[in-house]
Structure 1
Amino acid sequence: MAVDMLLRWTLVVAVTLAALLMSAQASDPELTTDFFVPAGVNKTTLTADYFTSTFFRNGITVVAPAKIGVKRITSDTAPVFTGLGVSSALIKYLPGGINPHHTHPRGTEILYVMEGTLTVGLVDTTNKFFSKVLEVGDVFVFPKGLVHFQINQGRKPVVAFIAFSSANPGTVSLPATLFGSGIPDNVHMAAFKVGKSVIDKLQLPFNITT
């Protein structure tokens, strides 16, 4: 009886440890210092400039023919973000501008509308679609890993500030990933149940030839 109880407790401990390890792997690495200091940098020489970014200061210029412009501040561009579990972005959408279907595999996104009216949408893991038209001052949350999009269906530009729950949340653009990565045509044809001519048209904007 005692052996059975010991085995049960061992199993409980093993499962708990596995869950904790999986949780840790899905999040940004935990810091054991006040903040990250790059290798070779003397911490005593750092100033407030290390914690400051002026990247958003002049806003965003959208370069034609694009209808959307994005500026991101992540651990790649600002080392101080490393290990803090946060990053940010500024996006400008001209009329008709769209941030197409995409996911952020490592972080939840919080979007705040600063100017204009923005239509957003997301799909959860039960394939339920959620959509909302946001106005200035509105905040919308896109949970980590879920497919979502934003589109400006109005007549004026939209500016939104984005915050992420990861120092480097990553972005997986579905159109580019599916039709611009070189996945074989026969896989697409079987998955989407369409002919090769349709796949060719979908791949055309990404310069994929097969």
Structure 2
Amino acid sequence: MTEKVLKMGSDIAFHSMACRASLAVVQIAVAGDADINTDFVVPSNVSNVDGNFFTFTGMRVLVGGAPPTAFKVLKASMAEFPALNGQSVSYAVLQFPSGTVNPPHTHPRSAELLFLIDGTLQVGFVDTTNKLFTQTLTTGDMFVFPKGLVQFQYNPDAQNAALAISAFGSSNAGTASVPNNVFTTDIDDTILAKSFKTDVATIQSIKAGLAPKH
């Protein structure tokens, strides 16, 4: 009888733990922008809300503007467009002169759906098993980058620029640059050298190459 009671108690504890673990996984899976209990969120410094509040004009510079000489991103996220707060959407326009790259990076709070408007792009991401998924996109193609995974885009065309629009399922998807996060922070050079199986001089050379140009 005692053994039966103990086994029953053990089974209950196991199932309780399994349920808690399952709930935790579900909570992680649905994590994203917090829900709001109003139609929209108005910043404290805004007193008059009209159509202008819901309009973003920051992309007008693309119309008739000179093409950039380096890779450039124009963002419409919560920082640039406060009306997006609580709406779980944002945009970015990516401009790629010939031969330029958007270096490896992650978006920790959202997947990214890229639509190639013009040109050619080589794109890819690496999953948590270190498997690389790549594709060469041409005008009109779309590609999805899963949330939080390391990704990149590259324009291999030596003559023509490329233009893409990216949509995000967050008003603040965030961007973490792999080169900058590793080599332009205060991680000790010796630690980096050991981690990348090289020497301190090589690490310092990489850091110098990533330093802001004045």
2:197 corresponds to which residue?
193
* Structure 1 residues 124 and 6: alpha-carbon distance in aligned structure 2, compared to 1, 3 A threshold: closer
**Is the 1:62–1:69 Cα contact (8 Å) retained in structure 2?**
no
- The one-letter code sitting in structure 2 at the alignment partner of 1:27 is G
Indicate if the aligned counterparts of 1:68 and 1:92 stay in contact, CA closer than 8 A.
yes
1:30-81 deviation line (CA, Å, top 9, x unaligned): 1111121222545xx42222221111123165555xx111110111111111
Q: What value does the CA root-mean-square deviation take over the aligned residues?
A: 2.3
Name the counterpart of 2:164. 160
Letter in 2 for 1:114: I
Q: Contact 2:68–2:95 (CA<8 Å) still a contact in 1?
A: no
Alignment gaps of 5+ in structure 1? none
Separation (CA, whole Å) in 2 of partners of 1:13 and 1:37:
39
Which residue of structure 2 aligns with residue 206 of structure 1?
Answer: 210
Of 10, 32, 36, 1:31 maps to 36
C-alpha displacement of 1:207: 3.5
TM-score, normalized by length of structure 1?
A: 0.86
Do the aligned partners of residues 40 and 197 (structure 1) sit closer, same or farther apart at CA in structure 2, a change above 3 Å counting? closer
| SS of structure 1 residue aligned to 2:61 | coil
User: TM-score, normalised to structure 2's length?
Assistant: 0.84
Aligned pairs, number: 203
Q: CA deviation at 1:14?
A: 3.8
- Residue 142 of structure 2 corresponds to residue 127 of structure 1: no
**What one-letter code is carried by the residue in structure 1 that aligns with 2:169?**
S
Q: Which has the larger radius of gyration?
A: 2
Percent identical residues: 35
CA contact (8 A) 1:62 1:68 kept: no
- Which amino acid in 2 is paired with 1:164? F
SS in 2 for 1:58: helix
Which deviates more, 118-127 or 50-59?
50-59
Q: Deviation per CA, 1:59-116, whole angstroms, max 9, x where unpaired?
A: 165555xx11111011111111111111110111101111101001111011101111
The 3 A distance-change label for structure 1 pair 133 and 41 is same
Deviation at 1:118, TM superposition (A): 1.1
Q: 5+ unaligned residues in a row in structure 2: which ranges?
A: none
Q: Which residue of 1 aligns with 2:49?
A: 46
